[in-house]
Amino acid sequence: MQKDKIFEPKIIGFLCNWCSYAGADLAGTSRINYPPNLRVIRVMCSGRVNPMHVVAALQNGADGVLIGGCHPGECHYEQGNYLARRRITVLRKLLEYIGIDPRRVKMTWVSAAEGKKFADVVKKVTEDIKEIGPMQHFRRRNKW
Amino acid sequence: MVNEKQLKEEVKKIVSRDDVKYVIGYEKGTYGFQAAPSFAFTPEEADKFIFSPLCVNNLAVYLMLEEKLPLHKNEKEDTRKIGLIVKGCDSRAVVQIIQERGLKREEVVLIGIPCRGIIDPKKINAKFPNQMKNVDVNEDGEKFLIKVDGATHNIPKDELLFEKCKHCENPNPVIYDMLIGKEVKTLKKENYDDIKSLEKKSLKEKWEYWEKQFEKCIRCYACRNACPMCYCKECMVDQLSPQWIRRSVNLSENTVWNIMRAYHLAGRCIGCGECERACPMDIPLTKLNKKIEKDVKEMFDYMPGMDAEEKPLLAMFKPDDPEEFIL
């Protein structure tokens, strides 16, 4: 292994089925380039994302987490993204207090028509996390 | 000082009611500066009830700990009420449980006691170590009168009080059916000085601090069991599928457990400090809880455990919640 290998972060993206996931799809079909560091998990709503999912992702090898939802007021389930926003706000404050850079947990509103915005967001998040460096604080090293 | 005679009278009256199953209160502990939780099923048992500045336990936890066995055929559910002695913070825990529909208001009878501050067992045991006999503690204005080996010690309250009691804004019960003694007037204000000073440090210093704390954790889950708000039927750490947190005790699992414990209390923790008192490894858990309490107060203008009619914090939203971090 080379020692000075460039750090390529792993980012987990929880994208909501109705907007962000469709936005990511549009970015693909419109052939917009964006970094391949994002691993997408489709969820039915950003309100589905339990803060435990975020912490578990960080523990199991992700360097960052991106949560994508519909724009406020446009949620398919009317209020899921508002609830997710509250949860993630509190979680980020807690992570920052414990000493983990809150930039590792990001949230974004991307509608199904915003393929360009999705690509920009992924670029921004990847750059941020490259700057912060790998997640070392509480990564799981044991296998049991 | 609470009139113990009046307290016993009230408890006796309540226990002898047909619709009350038992009353939970405090009795003298076995040795030293202890007060133990006590259950009175009959009026005679109420004679041992006490209330002193040593009554640390938050009794609201017992409301949710009672195991309800499956009913036999033709057996009717026991719908009798449970009596409970509450201090200011305990009553907020009850409000919060009612708000979350864990209990109904008519299922409990609350005997409120205005609280003038509770003694921290760690502090008093450091001052008077190895007390084998039960020690009497009385209060007189701003002092505690402690009788040890025939001599009476006068100690200012500030030296012995819990940290939480020094900044307690709600010494009077928020809800109660009857109040023993007069309401306490307080000018104390929560200023979150500890939290603010830790917040100001850099990320690296903060992690170094918490890393040390979480490494101590032995994951006995005493913090969970002592907490009146931790009453999930199956706790996240006991789940096997999915197994969010593994059983091994190491920094990674300990950190995640402590993050999730604190997070699960976001907008629910009423700051009774039982988790920290129960912790055998002296992890400053209230520092985590208070941090969330402070953020929630600043960002959402919400105080848990004040109004049983309000919705829980994370089950509601305002369209103009802060979202400066959203891309």
Q: What rounded mean pLDDT belongs to chain B?
A: 88
Q: Which of A90, A116, A118, A128 to mutate to test the interface with B (most CBs of B within 10 A)?
A: A90
A125: chain B residues, CB-CB within 8 Å: 327
A7 touches chain B (CB under 8 A): no
Handedness of CA B89, B48, B14, B21 (dihedral sign): positive
Residue labelled with tokens 């928020």: B174
Domain assignment of residue A2, yes or no: no
Taking the CA of residue A21 and the nearest CA in chain B, the distance in Å comes to 16
A72 touches chain B (CB under 8 A): yes
Chain A and chain B share a number of CB contacts under 8 A equal to 115
Beta carbons of B317 and A89 less than 8 Å apart = no
% residues pLDDT > 70 (chain B): 100
A81: chain B residues, CB-CB within 8 Å: none
Task: Please answer whether residues A81 and A110 qualify as being in contact, where contact means their C-beta atoms are separated by less than 8 angstroms.
Answer: no
B248 touches chain A (CB under 8 A): yes
Task: Please answer whether residues B191 and B300 qualify as being in contact, where contact means their C-beta atoms are separated by less than 8 angstroms.
Answer: no
For residue A74, is pLDDT > 60?
Answer: yes
* Secondary structure string (H, E, C) spanning chain B: CCCHHHHHHHHHHHHCCCCEEEEEEEEECCCECCEEEEEECCCHHHHHCECCCCCCCCCHHHHHHCCCCCCCCCCCCCCCEEEEEECHHHHHHHHHHHHCCCCCHHHEEEEECCCCCCECHHHHHHHCCCCCCECCEEEECCEEEEEECCEEEEEEHHHHECHHHHCCCCCCCCCCCEECCCCCCCCCCCCCHHHHHHHHCCHHHHHHHHHHHHHHCCCCCHHHHHCCCCCCCCCCCCCCCCCCCCCCCCHHHHHHHHHHHHHHCCCCCCCCCHHHHHCCCCCCHHHHHHHHHHHHHHHHCCCCCCCCCCCCHHHCCCCCCCCCCEC
pLDDT of residue A85: 92
For residue B75, is pLDDT > 90?
Answer: no
Structure tokens at A18: 């109705």
pLDDT of residue B144: 84
User: CB-CB: which of A55, A82, A124 is closest to B259?
Assistant: A55
Question: For residue A4, what pLDDT band results from cuts at 50, 70 and 90?
Answer: low
Structure tokens at B59: 């009794």
What's the domain count of chain A?
1
Complex ipTM, two decimals? 0.91
Grouping H, G, I as helix, E, B as strand and the rest as coil, residue A88 is helix
Taking the CA of residue A113 and the nearest CA in chain B, the distance in Å comes to 16
Range of the domain at A43: 11-132
User: CB-CB: which of A90, A99, A107 is closest to B207?
Assistant: A99
Beta-carbon contacts of A78 under 8 Å, excluding residues fewer than 6 positions away, are none
- Is the pLDDT higher at B140 or at B204? B204
pLDDT of residue B204: 92
pLDDT, average across residues B93-115: 91
Q: How far apart are CA B11 and CA A20, in angstroms?
A: 59
For B175-234, how does the pLDDT look when each residue is reduced to its tens digit (9 = 90+)? 999 898 888 888 788 888 888 999 999 999 999 999 999 999 999 999 999 999 999 888
pLDDT, average across residues A128-134: 91
B179 touches chain A (CB under 8 A): no
pLDDT of residue A18: 93
pLDDT of residue A23: 93
Domain assignment of residue A142, yes or no: no
Domain assignment of residue A139, yes or no: no
pLDDT, average across residues B65-80: 86
Domain assignment of residue A125, yes or no: yes
For residue A2, is pLDDT > 60?
Answer: no
pLDDT of residue B1: 63
Question: For residue A144, what pLDDT band results from cuts at 50, 70 and 90?
Answer: low
B203 touches chain A (CB under 8 A): yes
How many CB atoms lie under 10 A from the CB of residue B30? Answer: 9
Domain assignment of residue A143, yes or no: no
B211: chain A residues, CB-CB within 8 Å: 99, 137
Domain assignment of residue A34, yes or no: yes
Domain assignment of residue A106, yes or no: yes
Domain assignment of residue A72, yes or no: yes
pLDDT, average across residues B19-48: 89
% residues pLDDT > 90 (chain A): 83
For residue B146, is pLDDT > 60?
Answer: yes
Task: Report the relative pairing of strands B81-86 and B108-112 from DSSP bridges.
Answer: parallel
For chain B positions 48-107, those within 8 Å of chain A (CB to CB) are none
Torsion of CA A133, A55, B214, B221, to 10 degrees: -170
Q: How far apart are CA A137 and CA B33, in angstroms?
A: 40
Beta carbons of A89 and B299 less than 8 Å apart = yes
A97 touches chain B (CB under 8 A): yes
Give the CATH number, domain containing residue A117.
3.40.50
User: CB-CB: which of A90, A97, A121 is closest to B296?
Assistant: A90
pLDDT of residue A3: 58
pLDDT of residue B136: 79
pLDDT of residue A41: 95
Identify the weakest region by mean pLDDT among A21-35, B141-155, B231-245.
B141-155
pTM recorded for the entire structure: 0.91
